[in-house]
């Protein structure tokens, strides 16, 4: 394996999405990731449809959900209630740099792998522990699922057409944010281990990750005393910034300052001196009249023509693409956001790629891309059990 994290060993005890996402990020960057599954497998292996099957009908059946967050990993099955299998996990922990888990509070301890035991087995171990609502506090014991967290952490109240129709975001954003925050925390702990020689426990939660992502909506309340509510496809503090109808479709416009507004007005013959629209503060206060004005001007323009004129005017704009259009878009492919792998049970498949690209720069300033391109497919359940056990019996460390 290649990548900046080559040489690190991650033991992934997590299930579903938040933990597997964090572990996959390490695998994408070259770490060796061993996914430990129960004999029945990660819950997400059964989350479907859709499922994919081998063309000959004889191979594995895999859920597309599982495939989304488990590339670049090996799979070993262990029943941690069995003493022999618990010993295998202990051997993995002794060699690991990182352990990731998202069991309910106290569950790992009841299996004999509480914090004290983990550090006893490996004082250099960095542990990532992801929960639903935090590891302490009055509701620490609650199970964490993405949609519940989106609601409890206020995100659904900010999403949807209006305050009376809260809406979940179309991807499991609480899980994904928790995974990304967890991966970031682990890297920080590994950096500290370089100085101290000791590992530590990194904790995050779905609740913490959503609240930390409130951004201006958070300070809108904590500083400004204003409770944000859902406002559909228009920004609450910038105008015009949102989705606007045109002939046969829609476009999105983002006028981030008054100079952009002036360019928009000049390009489309709009009165820029209307006192209702002179500054961003004015336009936010009269958002409805801004939208009505723009949609009347755009009414005779098809999306492609409108986007072309907006681009010429230097006004940021874009279309709303369906997912198939996104993955067929040349810009998406140019960013290595689609990768091809050969799955051992299903065959050839394309997967969404990593958000990161890496480049080495020489003394002359020339860049050479070092992004990992040799990706491994998500593993068939238990595919690497024998190989991992054999490796654990060898004297090598990684």
How many helical (H) and strand (E) elements, i.e. helices and strands, does the chain have?
Answer: 16, 15
Query: 36 in the Ramachandran plot: left (φ > 0), alpha (ψ -120 to 50) or beta?
Result: beta
Q: Which of 320, 339, 45 is nearest to 170 (CA)?
A: 320
How far apart are alpha carbons 130 and 169 in whole angstroms?
21
Q: Which of 275, 282, 283 is nearest to 240 (CA)?
A: 283
What is the set of active-site residues?
175
CB 194 within 8 A of CB 121: no
How far apart are alpha carbons 1 and 375 in whole angstroms?
9
How far apart are alpha carbons 222 and 4 in whole angstroms?
39
> In a 10 Å sphere around its CB, with 0-12 CB exposed, 13-18 middle and 19+ buried, how is residue 21 labelled?
buried
> In a 10 Å sphere around its CB, with 0-12 CB exposed, 13-18 middle and 19+ buried, how is residue 196 labelled?
exposed
């Amino acid at each position: 394996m290649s990548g900046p994290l080559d040489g690190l060993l991650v033991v992934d005890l997590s299930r579903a999405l938040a933990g597997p996402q964090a572990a996959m990020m390490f695998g994408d960057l070259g770490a060796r990731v061993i996914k430990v599954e129960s004999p029945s497998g990660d819950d997400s292996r059964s989350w479907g449809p859709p499922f994919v099957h081998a063309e000959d009908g004889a191979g594995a059946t895999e859920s597309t959900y599982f495939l989304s967050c488990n590339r670049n990993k090996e799979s070993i099955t262990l029943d941690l209630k069995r003493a022999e299998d618990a010993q295998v996990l202990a051997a993995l922990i002794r060699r690991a740099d990182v352990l990731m888990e998202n069991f309910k509070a106290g569950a790992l301890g009841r299996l004999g792998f509480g914090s004290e035991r983990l550090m006893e087995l490996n004082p250099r171990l960095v542990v990532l522990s992801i929960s639903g609502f935090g590891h302490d506090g009055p509701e620490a014991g609650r199970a964490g699922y993405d949609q519940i967290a989106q609601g409890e952490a206020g995100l659904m109240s900010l999403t949807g057409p209006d305050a009376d129709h809260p809406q979940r975001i179309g991807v499991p954003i609480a899980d994904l944010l928790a995974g990304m925050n967890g991966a970031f925390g682990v890297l920080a702990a590994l950096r500290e281990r370089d100085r101290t020689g000791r590992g530590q426990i990194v904790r995050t939660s779905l609740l913490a990750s959503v609240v930390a992502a409130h951004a201006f909506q958070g300070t809108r309340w904590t500083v400004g005393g204003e409770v944000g509510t859902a406002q559909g496809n228009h920004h609450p503090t910038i105008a015009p910034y949102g989705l606007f109808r045109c002939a046969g479709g829609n476009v999105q416009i983002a006028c981030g300052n008054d100079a952009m507004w002036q360019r928009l007005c000049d390009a489309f013959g709009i009165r820029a001196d209307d006192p209702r629209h002179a500054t961003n503060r004015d336009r936010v206060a009269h958002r409805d009249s801004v939208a009505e004005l723009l949609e009347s001007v755009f009414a005779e323009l098809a999306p492609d023509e409108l986007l072309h004129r907006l681009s010429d005017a230097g006004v940021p704009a874009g279309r709303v693409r369906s997912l198939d259009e996104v993955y067929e878009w040349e810009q998406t492919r140019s960013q290595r956001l689609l990768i091809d792998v050969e799955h051992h049970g299903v065959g050839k498949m394309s997967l969404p790629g990593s958000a990161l690209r890496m480049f080495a720069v020489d003394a002359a300033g020339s860049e050479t891309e070092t992004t990992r391109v040799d990706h491994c497919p998500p593993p068939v359940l238990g595919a690497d059990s024998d190989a991992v056990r054999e490796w654990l019996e060898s004297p090598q460390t990684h």
